[in-house]
Structure 1
């Protein structure tokens, strides 16, 4: 080994064993290795409980569905964002119902299942679309969500501007 090669080898060894500077923080290879090992161990532990993992060492024999399956961890940012989105959508649905009350008219609606007719507020989709466009650009999505919550009723799966302008939307509330 030449003196030049030994000098380069010593400098490389110093760089590996001594802490490095990274954006004002001291980072050592040992610290990075420990963090990586910690992450790997945690990941392997989680994969043992993941029914979709290809890890053959499952610690759970038969997967039992939990009540919180498919829901974010409590207290996580994801849960917080979901709650905020739910609150926002609820406000949008409330605005939609108020808009229907404002521009709608009382009409007779068949009570269904042999019941008598009842008076409900109704509006045509085209009229609602023209009014609601000044409030929000998400009318169809909000209508679908309101129907899912049984606040409004209308025929068809989806409403299209122009094509479905004469479809009547009933406010159930």
Structure 2
């Protein structure tokens, strides 16, 4: 009788291990279906379907998402620094004296000590509605006198940018590192 009970426990243990193995095998097989490096021919790989809100974004909870959040925080910090340089070194804007503006040549000379990514930071700041300047890109020498102006008073921009940074940091801290490590 004791032998039958022991066999029943062994069967349960073995069957649960088999179930776990099958689940792991299925997860691996699903991953290999979407892994671009698992196929000899790209045409063998199934097409992935993304919703419009998912397209171009890293998988939720991945290390890629964590790095993207960190990069966004860094970019916002750079934009804040750019606005601060314009505020501290610029002159009142003739259209709206509450706003500050600085010629690109002066901005280039001041900001070059801070970072070598001035134009990229300016483009990002313009895209986010923090600064305004004419033209697609500005070049040293040719566009020295083109004004770069803040679109709102600096204190208002500072509050807005710091709020965005804080929101991103909250998202970053809400997801512990363990969740990032599990998915990548």
Q: TM-score range by the shorter chain?
A: 0.5 to 0.7
Question: Secondary structure at 1:108's aligned position in 2?
Answer: coil
Partner of 2:60: 74
> Which residue of structure 2 lines up, in the alignment, with residue 54 of structure 1?
43
Are positions 1:44 and 2:33 aligned together?
yes
Return the offset for 1:36. Answer: 10
- Measure the CA separation in 2 of the matches of 1:43 and 1:82: 24
Alpha-carbon spacing, 1:143–1:72, altered in 2? closer, same or farther (3 Å): same
- Alignment partner of 1:131 is 2:110: yes
The 1:41–1:78 alpha-carbon spacing in structure 2 relative to 1, beyond 3 Å, is closer
Distance across 2 between alignment mates of 1:166 and 1:145:
21
CA RMSD of aligned residues (A): 2.9
Count of aligned positions: 123
Task: Report deviation, 1:127.
Answer: 0.6
- Which structure dedicates a bigger proportion of its chain to helix? 2
Identify the structure with the greater strand proportion: 1
Q: CA deviation at 1:135?
A: 1.2
Does 2:69 match 1:83?
A: yes
Partner of 1:92: 78
Bigger RCO of structures 1 and 2 (CA < 8 A, at least 6 apart): 2
Q: How does 1:24-43 map to 2 (within 5 A)?
A: 42-43=31-32
Unaligned runs of 5+ in 2: 1-23, 37-41, 153-184
In structure 2, what is the Cα distance between the partners aligned to 1:73 and 1:108? 47
